[in-house]
Structure 1
């Protein structure tokens, strides 16, 4: 009877006792594993370590600041009137950063945007405005979606926890931070068709497009948006996402074609991104690139798992999308990315923390379903 009377948006309330018990067992094992697997490089080296071309890691803020320094140098040179492609490869080489493969050289979009913002003294204002816009978009979406109700304030507060990373001025030049915040805003703005009414997707489309042209790691988000539109038979929207992907691939090819002629035979390849770090890759990237990094290891890891559980338990299109994003990027981080690439997690960490608001209800529903006869 409990399953029959449960709200449509409470996924685990509809599970059979056996499925719920197996789900609880899997959750327990995953929580234990997430509390003990390393979130940082084994041996006590923090994840803010970059491996240089000589293969020697340099610890802590010294080396991480060199990453930031590279991006800030690009911004300064663009602001002074230099063409990005005239200096970026020599700048990499000067600082002993790889230029092979070509994807090691960041897309120029953010350098030009930040150079323009800094010229107008609007950099900090723009970052705060983006954060507030993302929080506002999610407040509105939580207010419109079923299955939220009194959780609207809690969920929005959790969204603020994720978005507030934008307040850290030290990360201002990181491509992943800006792209991740834009994806969070895009997700919050998007509406699928309901009750015969057409969806509202154009604003989300343009925001996601900007994120994609800033950082290519936005591509899985865009592809999922397109696949979701196809699933809903929203042909015009699906076509728009398809055109965006094609335009981006052309832009990426153009970017690589400008980098390639400047690469010398003597330029070594950078360290491989194929690291296969498993659970540590997923949990470490998300925790260390979000405000969860302020918590002890044994708590930060399980909280990442619980954010995913919360999205899974919220039986709405938004919940399904959030769950797929969390699992999809999680699998990606399990396979690729070295320990010093932990900041890749900023692509999704801001938007995923809101799932924590739904985790207690998901656990309660699993327990209730497991006890049902």
Structure 2
């Protein structure tokens, strides 16, 4: 099996493994020194001020016939959100879709998407890395996507967008570029925080001179700009004397601590011990780097990780759902690459 790790001279491969081990130890020390918070439990806590409960209330009002922006404004103001910024208002696509579905329908949609994504992952990695890599990575990704068994997780548009980003990466990996592009745009329409993935995909298309794809991305971004502009205008129509702005912005520079928190919001992996994200983050990134055709996946994770070092408030750790399924693609490659390197004589 060919990986970037075991193609290196042996001494360089051991340096890479040493750096990975050092990253794990550093993250482990940080994780053990933090207050014991389990992201999965925090995400499903019924705190009145939490995003989860607020958007559950908005969805219930939509099911009762309310307009999205009217319902969102009433709930966000009542729950103390800084509604003067449009970025504190979710775009309506995902809440409106959830409200249109019967109870449990959102879980059904995400389950179908997750299953489709896993099949794409297996097909992609079976051809490149063999059965072992495909099965290990598919299992790791499946555990990451398994968080949708909790009904509350469906409310988070980040979970839906992260599932779509995974499908887009796998579609690209299978050579289905148009499908990858369209699914990536859909993720953006569900959550603007999918924008870093879109930027990565466009940069790679430019680098490889895939001009037709670049033009299609341009059309998609123009459509999204119109959609977000309409969203901005609709929000502005709701603002009044009861609306306030947050005293601080989204630039929080949470650094490695916040990165580790986002890595911990990782489906059923979140139920593991507190030190598990400290292992999965460097190991997953090692595997994505070792994967010869993993450039899109690796760049996606790196961009999100770097972004979250600066952007995001402490309670936004659930943003990790945007990149953790893609991160888990690297586990199978990491196991295979380390094994092949250590067995060399």
Q: Under a length normalisation based on structure 2, what TM-score does the superposition of the two structures give?
A: 0.89
- Could you tell me how far apart the structure 1 residues matched to 2:77 and 2:232 are? 16
Residue 98 of structure 2 is matched in structure 1 by 114
The answer as to 2:135 corresponding to 1:169 is: no
In the other structure, the counterpart of 1:232 is 208
Structure 1, unaligned runs of 5 or more: 1-6, 51-58, 193-198
Going from structure 1 to structure 2, the CA distance change for 1:243 and 1:39 (only over 3 Å counts) comes to farther
* 1:142 alignment partner, one of 121, 125, 134: 125
Deviation of the 1:299 alpha carbon: 3.0
Q: Equivalent residue for 1:71?
A: 55
Question: For 1:251 and 1:99, how far apart are their aligned partners in 2?
Answer: 19
1:311 Cα shift?
A: 0.7
Aligned residues: 344
What's the offset of the Cα at 1:338? 1.8
- Preserved contact between residue 145 and residue 268 of structure 2 (Cα < 8 Å): no
Checking the alignment, whether the CA contact within 8 Å between 1:162 and 1:352 is kept in structure 2 is: no
Matched with 1:334 is 309
Q: Of 280, 287, 305, which residue of structure 1 is paired with 2:257?
A: 280
Does the aligned pair in 1 maintain the 2:148–2:267 contact within 8 Å?
A: no
For structure 2, the residue ranges without an aligned partner over 5 or more in a row are: none
Return the alpha-carbon distance in structure 2 between the equivalents of residues 265 and 364 of structure 1. 63
Give yes or no for the alignment of 1:185 onto 2:156: no
1:176-255 aligned at under 5 Å gives the runs: 176-191=158-173, 199-255=175-231
Query: Quick one: structure 1 residues 98 and 136, their matched pair in 2 at CA, closer, same or farther if it must change by over 3 Å?
Result: same
1:335-357 Cα distance to aligned partner (Å, 9 max, x none): 11122101000111123212111
Question: Displacement, 1:281?
Answer: 1.7
Deviation at 1:200, TM superposition (A): 2.1
The residue number in structure 2 matching 1:154 is: 136
Pick which of 28-37 and 121-130 moved more. Answer: 121-130
Q: CA deviation at 1:48?
A: 8.1
Superposition CA RMSD, Å: 2.7
State the partner residue of 1:12: 5
Provide the rounded CA distance (Å) in 1 between the counterparts of 2:260 and 2:35: 18
User: 2:44 & 2:135 partners in 1: Cα distance?
Assistant: 37
Report which stretch shifted further, 360-369 or 304-313. Answer: 360-369
Q: Which has the larger displacement, 18-27 or 283-292? A: 18-27
Structure 2 match to 1:54: none
The residue aligned with 2:277 is: 300
Does structure 2 conserve the Cα–Cα contact (< 8 Å) formed by 1:127 and 1:167?
A: no
2:40, 2:21 → 1: CA distance?
Answer: 30
Q: Is the 8 A contact 1:49 1:64 kept in 2?
A: no
Compute the displacement of 1:214 (Å): 0.9
User: What is the aligned partner in structure 1 of residue 328 from structure 2?
Assistant: 353
Judged with a 3 Å threshold, the aligned counterparts in structure 2 of structure 1 residues 13 and 44 are, in CA distance, closer, same or farther, namely: closer
- Cα gap change, 1:205 to 1:126, in 2 (>3 Å): same
Q: Secondary structure at the match of 1:11?
A: coil
Distance 1:65 1:181, change over 3 A: farther
Select between 287-296 and 332-341 the one with higher mean Cα deviation.
287-296
Number of the residue aligned with 2:268: 291
State TM-score, norm by structure 1: 0.83
In the TM superposition, residue 266 of structure 1 has moved relative to its aligned partner by 5.5
Which is higher, the Rg of structure 1 or of structure 2? 1
CA distance in 1, matches of 2:228, 2:338: 43
CA contact (8 A) 1:20 1:367 kept: no
> Residues of 1 paired with 2:44 and 2:177: CA distance?
42
Q: Distance in 2 between matches of 1:310 and 1:221?
A: 19
- Is 1:256 the counterpart of 2:256? The answer is no
Specify which of 63, 69, 80 is matched with residue 85 of structure 1.
69
Work out the CA distance in 1 between the residues paired with 2:126 and 2:41: 41
Question: How far apart, CA to CA, are the structure 1 residues paired with 2:57 and 2:46?
Answer: 16
